[in-house]
């Protein structure tokens, strides 16, 4: 990239891989597993590891044939290597997110320029949809990376005129990647690449290339990868073929069997929002690239890739947001190409993209205020509100950076200094969220961040100061050292009460890495400062450095979104982790565990055991019908009769709302083991162990008011048992008490 000293070749590749690894892995384990998807794609491999059966996928002990086994195998490998935790289980999606960015970098650098590859990779990494899916344990990102890899191989082997001497190896690789895509999420892994290739052949009239595409060694390689598991699972399960190929492929696409219908235009707003903060530049890139009377073969292929897949899913009867992930890579590439071209030619395209982005930022802020009542429950948490302000601050800072880049002559003096102030405030607010318990002591650190940022941007405004950049870099290093000292002071509270070994581990694993990262950042700041001073003399270099700053802000947007998602999930899709921990500590071998009226898919993961389900079947319907003898699904009356008569101890997980509904009418005694704001765990017998609760043990009257609220009756109580034996009598006249 012009004015950007990024290494080329293998050094640049590994340097970028290192940066991407830091970016994507940050806070990857911050959230508990989300229900249902993340719970499902951890539970199935967990059961594979427990049973040793890696052929027949099972969910909650029942056959589950909706998806192939490759991703389950990868997750099972993580379980064997690292155990089950939120970080290890998201490892593969993070790895594939990095691989997707690296593949765009390789294509951009190989066929366009090093700058195009680097910028396109950054655009892909810092758009909302791609980054959000990198921290979700679902199949779509993995599928998109395999599928995109196959299409890039097609691009290199057939679309480009400068043929590679390794063309046949690339074709074989294309078929293998398509087979891996099929083993990830079904036949879509070969259907979509073949569909895009057919569109390209049709538009370019390259029919003579079809025999070359049907390369026999490639087809053999595809079958070698694709067939073994399918043959094996069919031989063990006669009901697999119809459900997997007919129901989950043909009927899923052509009917509303899964109740996922959306209108044909559904993916257009998804793309507009999902590609932020680069949407404005992508729209300009699409306008400048497509359609033209004489498009290059490469642009026709990218056109077929983007709009072919977009059209394919738009006409599907089943639509989910992640389905559109396979077009992220080509969209990032054409956006990077367009930005680099517009900067070099000093055309208005860069300005137009920046202004569209600013307009979309304004719409996003307005949309927040419109939607605020719908997320008021999420915003009750003060930290969630703070994150909204941080995100808004980063948005504003990004808008000013774009405005300054769009109009370089406006960026001097006060306007650029205002930008420095806003950017520093946004970064400072972000750190405040990270360490809000240290508010007063952290004021000193805020000053450091503000001063460093202001100096960097101010010196970039006045290039005649550039000869002092080494001195300023030393100042930055000094401030960073001060920051490390402040961290050590903060750590004194943490170190109290720890033994010598624990203190050593804390220093080795926490403080030393933090200090190393901070010093590295300081050196990078100094390097960027040198670039900024050298580039300010011309608008081209100035805009490149503005893009660097915008990428930095984009990364902060993604991190804030990731942290904000924890608050959203806690309210909208709460985790059963705490309740599962309580049951696991109390449960004996012969005890039974049930979910009531819903199957919470993260529950068996945290419980480390399958569960029984009352009054619900959902996506377990196929497995429940295929293996009725397992009796995993219970009807309501059947369950309550069993509850009253069995000698076995039963643990029942039930939502707060459902508890209010059920026990306002049910007759019988039940023991309340524990509860939180979302769930209650009850048992048909008294506790046999004294296990500490996360909640202060309430009286039955206090607990009843929590559960039933003002509109429901209090539970009668006798105050029997220990603090952890909360016993509630549910009687027919409860509502009249």
pLDDT in tens, 552-605: 667 767 777 777 777 777 777 888 999 999 998 888 888 999 999 899 999 999
Are 63 and 236 spatial neighbours (Cβ–Cβ below 8 Å)?
no
706 confidence band (pLDDT: 50, 70, 90) = very low
267 confidence band (pLDDT: 50, 70, 90) = confident
Q: Is 705 helix (H, G, I), strand (E, B) or coil?
A: helix
pLDDT at 46 over 90: yes
Pairing of strands 612-614, 650-655: unpaired
Alpha carbon of 49 to those of 54, 56, 81, 605, 714: distances in Å?
Answer: 8, 12, 11, 12, 45
pLDDT value for 70: 95
355 confidence band (pLDDT: 50, 70, 90) = confident
390 confidence band (pLDDT: 50, 70, 90) = low
Q: Is 445 helix (H, G, I), strand (E, B) or coil?
A: helix
Q: Which of 457-461, 514-518, 620-624, 636-640 has the lowest mean pLDDT?
A: 457-461
Report CA dihedral (608, 610, 612, 614) to the nearest 10 degrees.
Answer: 80
Mean pLDDT of 349-376: 74
Q: Is 671 helix (H, G, I), strand (E, B) or coil?
A: strand
CA distance 271 to 275: 6
Residue-wise pLDDT tens digits, 129-187: 999 899 999 999 999 999 999 999 999 999 887 777 788 899 999 999 999 999 999 89
CA distance 107 to 120: 10
Q: Is 174 helix (H, G, I), strand (E, B) or coil?
A: helix
Comparing C-alpha atoms, which of 630, 633, 583, 591 is closest to residue 608? Answer: 583
* Helical residues (DSSP H) of 216-278, grouped into ranges: 216-236, 240-241, 252-254, 267-274
Report CA dihedral (322, 78, 653, 702) to the nearest 10 degrees.
Answer: -90
pLDDT at 623 over 90: no
Chain-centroid distance of CA 458 in Å reads 36
**Please, how many CA atoms are within 13 Å of residue 89, restricted to the half-sphere of its CB?**
27
User: Which residue did the predictor score with more confidence, 302 or 317?
Assistant: 302
Mean pLDDT of 94-106: 95
Q: Is 320 helix (H, G, I), strand (E, B) or coil?
A: coil
Q: Write the DSSP string, 513-579.
A: HHHHHHHHHHHHHHHHHHHHHHHTTSHHHHHHHHHHHHHHHHHHHHHHHHHHHHHHHHHHS---HHH
Residue 442 is given by DSSP the state: T
% of residues, the chain, pLDDT over 90: 28
Structure tokens, 447 = 């000053």
CA distance 164 to 137: 36
Residue 696 is given by DSSP the state: -
Bridge partner list, 683? 651, 671
pLDDT at 457 over 80: no
pLDDT value for 737: 29
To the nearest whole number, what is the mean pLDDT of the chain? 75
Q: Write the DSSP string, 42-100.
A: HHHHHHHHHH---SS-EETTEE--SS-SHHHHHHHHHHHHH-S-HHHHTHHHHHHHHHH
pLDDT value for 60: 92
Residue 732 is given by DSSP the state: T
Chain-centroid distance of CA 260 in Å reads 21
The label of the residue with tokens 């605020």 reads 372
CB-CB neighbours of 81 under 10 Å: 9
Residue-wise pLDDT tens digits, 458-509: 544 444 544 454 455 545 555 555 455 555 545 544 544 445 555 555 555 5
pLDDT value for 732: 27
350 confidence band (pLDDT: 50, 70, 90) = confident
Comparing C-alpha atoms, which of 241, 259, 130 is closest to residue 187? Answer: 241
User: Which residue did the predictor score with more confidence, 144 or 425?
Assistant: 144
Structure tokens, 570 = 């806690």
Mean pLDDT of 506-531: 52
pLDDT value for 80: 93
CB-CB neighbours of 553 under 10 Å: 25
Q: CB under 8 Å to 382, separation ≥6 — which residues?
A: none
CA distance 509 to 324: 39
The segment with the largest mean pLDDT, out of 148-162, 252-266, 521-535, is 148-162
pLDDT value for 36: 86
127: left (phi over 0), alpha (psi -120 to 50) or beta: beta
Are 398 and 277 spatial neighbours (Cβ–Cβ below 8 Å)?
yes
Q: Which of 17-26, 322-331, 407-416 has the lowest mean pLDDT?
A: 407-416
pLDDT value for 668: 59
Backbone angles phi and psi of 116, in degrees to 5: -60, -45
Mean pLDDT of 201-207: 90
- pTM of the predicted model, to two decimals? 0.78
Comparing C-alpha atoms, which of 680, 710, 675, 668 is closest to residue 694? Answer: 675
627 confidence band (pLDDT: 50, 70, 90) = confident
pLDDT value for 317: 74
pLDDT value for 100: 95
Structure tokens, 415 = 């306007």
Are 181 and 150 spatial neighbours (Cβ–Cβ below 8 Å)?
yes
Mean pLDDT of 49-77: 93
CA distance 708 to 735: 10
Are 87 and 313 spatial neighbours (Cβ–Cβ below 8 Å)?
no
Backbone angles phi and psi of 642, in degrees to 5: -65, -40
Q: Which of 36-50, 344-358, 391-405 has the lowest mean pLDDT?
A: 391-405
Alpha carbon of 406 to those of 123, 339, 410, 414, 628: distances in Å?
Answer: 18, 12, 9, 17, 66
pLDDT at 76 over 50: yes
pLDDT value for 396: 63
CA distance 598 to 616: 5
CA distance 378 to 133: 21
CA distance 389 to 670: 45
CA distance 141 to 343: 31
User: Which residue did the predictor score with more confidence, 287 or 46?
Assistant: 46
For 484-499, b/e burial (b = at least 16 CB within 10 A) is bebbeebbeeeeeeee
The label of the residue with tokens 């070359």 reads 212
């Amino acid at each position: 990239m012009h004015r950007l000293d990024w290494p080329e070749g293998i050094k640049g590749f590994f340097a970028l891989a290192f940066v991407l690894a830091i970016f994507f892995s940050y806070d990857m384990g911050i959230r508990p597993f989300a229900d249902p998807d993340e719970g499902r794609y951890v539970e199935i491999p967990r059961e594979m590891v427990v049973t040793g059966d890696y052929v027949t996928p099972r969910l909650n002990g029942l056959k589950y044939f909706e998806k192939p086994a490759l991703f389950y195998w990868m997750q099972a490998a993580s379980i064997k290597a690292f155990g089950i935790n939120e970080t290890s289980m998201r490892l593969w999606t993070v790895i594939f997110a990095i691989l997707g960015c690296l593949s765009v970098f390789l294509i951009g650098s190989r066929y366009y320029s090093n700058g195009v590859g680097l910028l396109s990779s950054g655009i892909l990494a810092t758009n909302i949809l791609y980054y959000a899916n990198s921290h979700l344990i679902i199949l779509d990102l993995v599928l998109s990376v395999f599928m995109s890899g196959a299409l890039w191989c097609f691009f290199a082997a057939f679309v480009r005129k400068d043929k590679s001497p390794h063309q046949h190896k690339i074709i074989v690789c294309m078929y293998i990647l398509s087979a891996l895509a099929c083993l990830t999420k079904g036949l879509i892994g070969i259907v979509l690449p073949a569909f895009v290739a057919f569109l390209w052949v049709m538009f370019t009239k390259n029919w003579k290339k079809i025999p070359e595409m049907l390369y026999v060694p490639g087809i053999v390689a595809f079958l070698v990868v694709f067939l073994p598991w399918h043959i094996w699972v069919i031989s063990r399960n006669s009901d697999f073929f119809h459900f997997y190929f007919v129901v989950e492929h043909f009927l899923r696409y052509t009917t509303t069997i899964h109740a996922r219908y959306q209108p044909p235009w559904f993916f257009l707003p998804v793309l507009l929002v999902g590609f932020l903060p680069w949407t404005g530049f992508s729209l300009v890139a699409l306008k400048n690239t497509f359609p033209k009377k004489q498009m290059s073969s490469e642009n026709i292929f990218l056109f077929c890739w983007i709009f072919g897949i977009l059209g394919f899913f738009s006409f599907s009867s089943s639509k989910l947001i992640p389905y559109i992930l396979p077009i992220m890579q080509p969209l990032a590439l054409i956006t990077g190409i367009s930005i680099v071209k517009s900067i070099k030619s000093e055309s208005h395209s860069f300005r137009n993209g920046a202004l569209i982005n600013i307009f979309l930022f304004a719409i996003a802020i307005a949309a927040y205020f419109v939607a605020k009542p719908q997320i008021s429950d999420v915003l009750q948490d003060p930290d969630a509100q703070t994150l909204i302000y941080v995100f808004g601050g980063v948005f504003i800072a990004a808008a000013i950076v774009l405005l300054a880049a769009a109009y370089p002559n406006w960026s001097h003096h006060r306007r650029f200094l205002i930008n420095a102030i806003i950017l520093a405030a946004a970064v400072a607010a972000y750190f405040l969220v990270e360490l809000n318990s240290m508010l007063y002591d952290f004021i000193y650190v805020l000053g450091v961040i503000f001063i460093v940022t202001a100096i960097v941007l101010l010196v970039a405004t006045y290039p005649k100061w550039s000869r002092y950049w080494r001195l300023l870099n030393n100042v930055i290093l000094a401030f960073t050292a001060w920051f490390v000292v402040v961290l050590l002071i903060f750590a004194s509270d943490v170190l109290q009460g720890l033994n010598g070994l624990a203190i050593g581990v804390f220093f080795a694993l926490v403080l030393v890495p933090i200090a190393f990262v901070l010093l590295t950042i300081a050196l990078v700041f100094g390097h960027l400062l040198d670039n900024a001073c050298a580039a300010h003399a011309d608008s081209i270099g100035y805009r490149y450095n503005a893009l660097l700053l915008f990428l930095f802000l984009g990364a902060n947007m993604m991190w804030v979104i990731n942290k904000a998602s924890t608050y959203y999930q806690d309210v909208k899709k709460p985790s059963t982790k705490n309740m599962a921990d309580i049951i696991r500590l109390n449960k004996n071998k012969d005890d039974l565990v049930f979910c009531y009226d819903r199957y919470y898919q993260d529950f068996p993961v945290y419980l480390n055991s399958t569960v029984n389900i009352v009054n619900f079947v959902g996506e377990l319907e196929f497995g429940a019908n295929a293996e009725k003898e397992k009796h995993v699904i219970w009807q309501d009356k059947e369950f309550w009769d069993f509850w009253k008569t069995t000698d076995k101890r039963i643990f029942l997980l039930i939502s707060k709302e459902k508890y209010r509904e059920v026990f306002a009418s049910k007759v019988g005694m039940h023991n309340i083991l524990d509860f939180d704001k979302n769930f209650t765990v009850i048992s048909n017998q008294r506790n046999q162990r004294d296990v500490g609760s996360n909640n202060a043990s309430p009286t039955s009257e206090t607990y009843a008011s929590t559960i039933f609220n003002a509109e429901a009756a209090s539970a009668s109580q006798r105050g029997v048992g220990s603090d952890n034996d909360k016993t509630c009598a549910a009687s027919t006249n409860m509502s009249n008490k």
